[in-house]
Amino acid sequence: MRFVKQYGFFVVTIVLTLVGYLKLKSSVNDGIDAANSYLRSVGGSMDSAQFTDIQNTFVISNILIGGILFAVGLTFLCFSIYRLLKEVSTF
C-alpha cells in the first residue's frame, strides 16, 4: 500500500504540473476566445478600449491560474522526488 501511495502522489504531481504548463501555454488564446465569447453574449457591440481591458483581464486570469497550478505541481513534484530518493538511499 505504501508503494501505491508514494507513486500515486508522484503521478498526481506530474499530472498537476502538466495541466499547469498546458494552461500557461494556451492562456493567451483561451483568454482571447473567452473575451470574444463575452462580446458575443452582450450583443456584439462594445467600445474598443473597454473590450481591450476585458480581454487583458481574461488573459491575466488564465495566466494566474496556469501559473499557480504549475508552481504548486512543480513544488510537490520536487518534494515527491526528494521523498522517493530519500527512501531509496535508506535501503
With a cut of 50, list the residues of the chain below it in pLDDT: none
pTM: 0.83
pLDDT (0 to 100) of residue 91:
63
pLDDT (0 to 100) of residue 26:
95
pLDDT (0 to 100) of residue 5:
78
* 17 closest CA partner among 81, 76, 59: 76
b/e 21-55 (16+ beta carbons within 10 angstroms → b): bebbeebeebbeebbeeebeeeeeeeeeeebeebb
